[in-house]
Amino acid sequence: MTPPLFRVRRLRKEFAGNAVLRDVDAEIRRGEILGLIGENGAGKSTFMKILSGIYEPTSGTLELEGRPIAFDSPSDARRAGVSIVPQEFNLAKDLSVEENVFLGAELLKLRRVLDRTGMRVRTAQLLAELGANVSPQDRIEGLSAAQKQLVEVCKALAFDASLLILDEPTTMLTRREIDRLFALMRSLKARGMALVYVSHKLAEVKAICDRVMVLKDGELVREAPIAEIEPPEMARCMVGRELREIFPPKRKAVGPVVLEVRGLSSPGAFTDVSFTVREGEILGFAGLVGAGRTQIAEALMGLRPSSGVVRVGGKEARARDAKQAVRQGFGYLSEDRQGSGILTGFGIAENMTLVSLRDYASLPFVIDRDKEVAKARTWRDRFGIKASNLAAPLESLSGGNQQKVFLAKTLDPGPRVVMVDEPTRGVDVAAKQEIYRFLAELAAKGAAVVLISSELEEIIGMCDRVVVMREGRIVGELEGNHVEEREIMYMATGLRTGANA
Ligand SMILES: Nc1ncnc2c1ncn2[C@@H]1O[C@H](COP(=O)(O)OP(=O)(O)OP(=O)(O)O)[C@@H](O)[C@H]1O
Ligand SMILES: [Mg+2]
């Protein structure tokens, strides 16, 4: 029998004595897509970083086609045929797309001259194959998160790889972009490539993978051909218990209007937007990516210029900047957590209490660290944040755990108007359930909650009322039993306008 493309034996990784991968044995075969799932912090990215030469294992061995191999660096791994689309983007902001795609591995003509045309053509080809609306000469800086994600995929595909690792590549993508990526993955598989797909979207794992492996606390706890495992069981293996009812029951009773927005416009982003959110209500914002939902939240937070009327609890609340917006009662979890909001070099506790810092000052300018840590502990337990300790730098947390810290940071000041943009992106199913419960509780305690999400399931599961946006305008509103997928999609794509529009 031919050996598998890759085999790892007793692979182990420790950070400062903490084992995060515990003697994993696994194999990856040609011509298959292997799904790798597990809770936030289970060790998925760490495992993949070892395969792609980013981390060295503490112990254990790697074999490529039956021969032992060790990688000194990512470029070393790339030469051996391993490419990775990392969970956290790794792009040089001030370079162009094509420069990024070939960074450190530029194509040469006659061995010494940069082959600019060759690189441009190759990049354009890959972008077209992905259906990415990006030009090779665009600078990274000006790209949206989705576009950056597609550039990372291009970068991984620019070289002939025998193993392609995709670590949560679809978190920022729309349905259509995901379908394109999946089509591409299938054709690569048909050409004999091995692919590893890391994701929290279990339905996607079911749709695209041939086999699935479940990591739990650094150990491989389950492996199965995809035909033998359904998403609910995947979830159970990941968290070690049955997960029923992901969404909390909806509440009917709502109170007076908390947030009132009238005729709000922001040039180039959205026009004449009016809506209200009541005490105890969760209002959903649905629409295609680029419909202007995020920009509304940014305008309310004073992060982008706008005109119109905004009132919180009847009081004028047009903020000039985010600080003022927080004082006026707004809390905002932005969509692009990687780009903003992260205080590198600072600990988890410090990051969590950043917005509400004043509450932790016992005297002016003196931060009560004990209080801060106590609060951080509460958040950690609430969301199941996995970290060696609360002083650990944020960068050392897994992607999903960083996400939870951002959410804690948004909620810590106890805002009256809570606006969350894609709040469960990259978090595991158990944490998702906890976040949903938490948002429902906030509403029950009297907050007005605005949920912006591309996951229709989430909108439908959580919201009493949904506003649908298209091209910068509100095109419809649905309530109660009318909140359902087909209606939302019709409105979002312009096939139908809503009764109240
Ligand atoms: N550079 C590092 N230093 C210290 N600890 C780290 C480092 N990188 C990862 N860890 C820890 O290793 C554990 C596993 O992290 P990893 O990123 O592999 O998780 P994951 O399964 O990819 O999770 P997620 O679904 O959230 O992306 C986490 O507890 C994390 O805090
Ligand atoms: Mg990860």
Rounded to 10 degrees, the C-alpha dihedral 131/135/139/143 comes to -30
Ligand 1 atom nearest the C-alpha of 386 is 29
Q: Is the CB of 41 under 6 A from ligand 1?
A: yes
**46 C-beta closer than 6 A to ligand 1:** yes
Instruction: Give 43 Cα–ligand 1 centroid separation in angstroms.
Output: 6
**20 and 43 in a common domain:** yes
Confirm whether 402 is domain-assigned: no
Q: Find the CATH number of the domain harbouring 451.
A: 3.40.50.300
Residue 398, ligand 1, Cβ within 6 A = yes
In a domain, 407, yes or no: no
Whether residue 30 sits in one domain with residue 106:
yes
93 & 223 share domain: yes
Do 29 and 123 lie in one domain? The reply is yes
Same domain flag for 78 and 214: yes
* Residue predicted with more confidence, 343 or 147: 147
Chain mean pLDDT for the chain: 88
Q: What pLDDT, on a 0 to 100 scale, did the predictor assign at position 500?
A: 47
Residue nearest to atom 31 of ligand 1 (CA): 397
C-alpha span between 17 and 500 (Å, rounded): 59
Q: Is the CB of 400 under 6 A from ligand 1?
A: yes
pLDDT in tens, 284-314: 999 887 789 999 999 999 999 999 999 999 9
- Sole residue written with tokens 């490529």: 64
- Please count the structural domains in the chain: 2
Please name the residue whose Cα sits nearest to atom 27 of ligand 1: 399
How many A from CA of 340 to the centre of ligand 1? Answer: 20
Q: Measured in angstroms, how far is the CA atom of residue 314 from the centroid of ligand 1?
A: 45
Residue 347 resides in a domain? no
Task: Supply the pLDDT for residue 389.
Answer: 82
Of 29, 398, 86, 14, the residue nearest 223 (C-alpha): 29
Looking at residue 361, its pLDDT comes to: 52
Looking at 239, 256, 287, the residue that finishes a domain is 239
pLDDT above 50: residue 501: no
Look up residue 349 and give its DSSP letter. H
Measured from the CB, is residue 20 less than 6 Å from ligand 1?
yes
Q: How far is CA 474 from CA 31, 275, 292, 301, in A?
A: 46, 9, 9, 19
pLDDT band at 339 (very low <50, low <70, confident <90, very high): low
Cα of 199 from ligand 2 centre, angstroms:
9
- Residue 179 Cα, ligand 2 centroid: separation in angstroms? 22
Q: Which range among 86-100, 143-157, 213-227, 347-361 has the greatest average pLDDT?
A: 213-227
Question: Is the pLDDT reported for residue 155 higher than 60?
Answer: yes
Q: Which residues contact 38 (CB under 8 A, 6 or more apart)?
A: 44, 214, 215, 216, 238, 428
For the four alpha carbons of 307, 324, 404 and 12, in that order, the dihedral sign comes to positive
Q: Same domain, yes or no, for 167 and 219?
A: yes
Q: Closest Cα to atom 1, ligand 1: which residue?
A: 396
**Of the residues 215, 239, 263, which one is the last residue of a structural domain?**
239
Q: SS3 helix, strand, coil % of the chain, rounded to 5?
A: 35, 25, 40
Q: Is residue 99 part of a domain?
A: yes
Report the residue among 47, 51, 397, 406 best suited for mutation to probe ligand 1: largest number of ligand atoms under 8 A from its CB.
397
| CA 105 to chain centroid | 28
- Looking at the fold, whether 218 and 182 belong to one and the same domain comes out as yes
52 CB less than 6 Å from ligand 1? no
Domain-located, residue 400: no
Q: Is 405 in the pocket of ligand 1 (CB under 6 A)?
A: no
Give the lowest-confidence range in 116-130, 361-375, 462-476: 361-375
Burial (Cβ within 10 Å: 0-12, 13-18, ≥19) of residue 308: middle
Percent above pLDDT 70 for the chain: 92
**Nearest residue by C-alpha to atom 13 in ligand 1:** 41
Ligand nearest, relative to CA of residue 427: 1
Same domain, 28 and 131: yes
The response to whether residue 44 sits with its C-beta less than 6 Å from ligand 1 reads: yes
In a domain, 275, yes or no: yes
pLDDT tens, 19-42? 999 999 999 999 999 999 999 999
Burial 51-87 (b: 16+ CB within 10 A, else e): bbbbbebeebebbbeeeeeebeebeebbebbbbbbbb
- Inter-axis angle of helices 429-444 and 369-383, nearest 10: 120
Q: Is 171 in the pocket of ligand 1 (CB under 6 A)?
A: no
Domain boundaries, position 59: 6-239
Counting from 1 in the atom list of ligand 1, the atom nearest the Cα of 48 is: 18
Measure 400 CA to ligand 1 centroid, in angstroms.
9
Closest atom, ligand 1, to C-alpha of 398: 17
Both 257 and 304 in one domain: the answer is yes
Same-domain pairing of 113 and 249: no
pLDDT at residue 211 greater than cutoff 90: yes
pTM: 0.86
Residue of the nearest CA to atom 2 in ligand 1?
A: 396
Residue 88 within any structural domain of the chain: yes
Q: Say which ligand is closest to the CA of 86.
A: 2
- Among 44-53, 327-336, 340-349, 490-499, the range with the most confident prediction by mean pLDDT is 44-53
Binned at pLDDT 50, 70 and 90, residue 70 comes out as very high
Residue 384 CB–ligand 1 contact under 6 Å: no
487 C-alpha vs ligand 2 centroid, how far in Å?
A: 34
- Give the pLDDT mean for 416-430: 91
- 213 lies in a domain? yes
- What's 89's DSSP letter? -
Among the candidates 208, 239, 270, a domain finishes at 239
The pLDDT value recorded for residue 338 is 59
17 burial via Cβ count (<10 Å: 0-12, 13-18, 19+): exposed
Pocket residue to mutate for ligand 1, from 46, 52, 56, 198, most atoms within 8 A of Cβ: 46
Q: Is 180 in the pocket of ligand 1 (CB under 6 A)?
A: no
> Residue 145 in 3-state DSSP?
helix
Q: Is the CB of 403 under 6 A from ligand 1?
A: no
Q: Are residues 102 and 43 in the same domain?
A: yes
Q: Using a 6 Å cutoff on CB, does residue 449 contact ligand 1?
A: no
Claim to verify: residue 256 and residue 290 sit in the same structural domain: yes
